[in-house]
Amino acid sequence: MLSLVVQRAKETDSLGFELESLAADDGLTNIFLVKKVHPDSPAAKCGLRQGDQILSLCSTPIERLPHEEVLVYLKKGKKIPFVVLRPWLKTVMVNTIEINKTKEQKLGFQLAEMSDGSTRVADVVPGGVAAGAGLPRGSRLALLNGDSIDDMPHATVLASMSKATKISITFLMQHTSTALISHVRRQDTAEPIGISLETTDGAVQRTLASAVKPGGLAALAGVQQGDQMLAINGTPVDQLTHDQQLELIKADEVTQFAYMRPPAPAESVARFLILSRNNLQESLGFAVATMDDGSTEVTGDVTPDGPAGKAGLKRGDRILAIDNIPMDTVPHDDVVHLLLSRVKVEVMVLCIIDESEA
């Protein structure tokens, strides 16, 4: 959920974007999408993007307004506040797990030290101690027994883990979440909708559906326990107190919830592959693309007898690191340069497990 303000020099100036309206599945409301944003326009400068769904203008929810009336709002004033829902949102989840083992047991996971000094989980053995505790592949370790791993040499991290029988690990995991919208309808405002909201503590506060009554109105509308609320009736929840959230829910027979839900993780494994070629002119035999969530993914067919195909790289694999350089924040052009500027390159990839190969 994003709050943006589009500013223009004069009311008669174009905002610089095209609007598209679609009828929602309920047949009663509309979905307003940004069809196109013109370069260097007021809309582009404020951060509006193609595909954004506009929920409100000037603090007014627009889902029940006809297209023509929304256009009237867009023509009013030099400064127009927007609340938009972006189809893909990136979040970083922070989790702490406890691992208990005997001295003879192995932890069942491998760590990789990255070029930026961070420590990531390169592989987790299925059925092992770490897997049972819930440690995910690709996660970044932050704390070991309450102490920052960033201040520890990699060898110290490994030694501390191998000797201990009880370990506390705090890790970071980046998720790409799909933004969803549900409309909860009832006969009158006194009827309960079967949902409880809770705001988490911490530096980044989140409003979660802490409980959703099975068979209740919220559940029937598609809301699930654990969903992170973004907006209620077009108003971002981070602008509301808990009491104000409840007041908005009770204010009307129809309540619109905008929320996100992390997708169910596919079974995957992190692997290190060596791509070798005879010279810099030889093709690696694959193409990469930067996805909407910022990740680097192998796209198109991989040439079977090329360096990538021989190493085991497959279409859909996600490249986590190249020669120990994490790809989280590397621009696409730099990714291509890293791959093409050397004859031998090591890539760390996240591979989706094919059940037919398991």
pTM summary value: 0.39
Q: How confident is the model at residue 356 (pLDDT cuts 50, 70, 90)?
A: very low
For the segment 105-131, the average pLDDT, to the nearest whole number, is 80
Helix (H/G/I), strand (E/B), else coil: 245: helix
Residues 242-279: tens digit of each pLDDT: 999 999 999 888 898 888 776 554 555 677 889 999 99
- Of 171 and 281, more confident: 281
Distance between CA atoms of residues 192 and 102, nearest Å: 50
pLDDT mean over 54-72? 87
Q: List, in order of start, the domains of the chain with CATH numbers.
A: 2-86 (2.30.42.10), 90-175 (2.30.42.10), 186-252 (2.30.42.10), 268-352 (2.30.42.10)
Element spanning 81, H or E? strand 79-85
Closest CA to 91 of 1, 195, 3, 28: 1
pLDDT given at position 247: 92
Residues 6+ apart with CB under 8 A from 245: 197, 207, 229, 232, 237
DSSP code for 342: -
Separation of alpha carbons 183 and 63, rounded Å: 11
Q: Under a CB-based contact definition with an 8 Å cutoff, are residues 309 and 302 in contact?
A: yes
**Three-class SS of 24-77:** CCCCCCEEEEEEEECCCCHHHHHCCCCCCEEEEECCEECCCCCHHHHHHHHCCC
pLDDT band at 335 (very low <50, low <70, confident <90, very high): confident
Residues 217-246: tens digit of each pLDDT: 999 888 988 888 888 887 888 778 899 999
| pLDDT 10s digits, 295-313 | 788 877 789 899 999 998 9
